Amino acid sequence: MESQDRYRQGWERLKEVDGEAGERVIESLGDIVPDFARYLIELPYGDIYCHPALDLKSRENAVVAALTALGNAAPQLKVHIHGALNVGCTRQEVVEVIMQLTVYAGFPAALNGLFAAKEVFKECDGLGKSYRQIKHLCAGCSPGIVTGKAASPFRSQVCMKLLSFHP
């Protein structure tokens, strides 16, 4: 696959998984290391995230587990907790994945992960003021979140689930 195709495919996958949070990470790198931003789009999202053997929910659970185990990647962990919610993981599933790491990564890493999840959940709850504010969690639905017409049935289910938490 050509680099341009990898980039395009990666950019679409990044938006699907991480929405505006992922886009902000890429934009923040543009003025200092644009090549690194391109690598970040092409390799993980253009190549790895597009392998067919795992669905996005399984991939995000794995990433949340790995970042929790590292214990020193809170900003990235928060982006991927948002991503996990965005691709259909429930809050309880995110918490259970992080709690599982207590046995393998230790209490400090698991506690840090749980506190990161708590911050993300609080941020999501704060978005309940309007339909437009939750749009970044449903990047695949835009502009359907406002019109009620989602990009796909799966996205529609995810958005309705999110919106049910935010009347």
Q: What is the DSSP string of 65-130?
A: HHHHHHSS-HHHHHHHHHHHHHTT--HHHHHHHHHHHHHHH-HHHHHHHHHHHHHHHHHHHHGGG-
Same domain, 15 and 40: yes
Same domain, 41 and 59: no
Number of domains in the chain: 3
> Does 82 fall in a domain?
yes
* More confident of the two residues 100 and 166: 100
* More confident of the two residues 86 and 162: 86
The pLDDT tens digits for 77-112 are: 999 999 999 999 999 999 999 999 999 999 999 999
* More confident of the two residues 162 and 53: 53
- CATH number, domain with residue 103: 1.20.1290.10
Same domain, 99 and 71: yes
> Does 125 fall in a domain?
no
| pLDDT surpassing 80 at residue 163 | no
Same domain, 32 and 17: yes
Same domain, 91 and 77: yes
> Does 124 fall in a domain?
no
Q: Is the dihedral of CA 120, 81, 9, 31 positive or negative?
A: positive
Boundary (domain end) residue, out of 52, 67, 82: 52
Same domain, 42 and 61: no
* Structural domain harbouring 156: 130-167
Same domain, 112 and 88: yes
Same domain, 135 and 112: no
User: 0.85 exceeded by the pTM?
Assistant: no
> Does 45 fall in a domain?
yes
Same domain, 79 and 110: yes
The pLDDT tens digits for 129-149 are: 322 334 444 444 333 333 333
The pLDDT tens digits for 18-73 are: 888 888 889 999 899 999 999 999 999 999 999 999 999 999 999 999 999 999 99
- Cα–Cα nearest to 84, from 116, 52, 111: 116
pLDDT category of residue 3 using cuts at 50, 70 and 90? confident
Same domain, 110 and 59: yes
> Does 67 fall in a domain?
yes
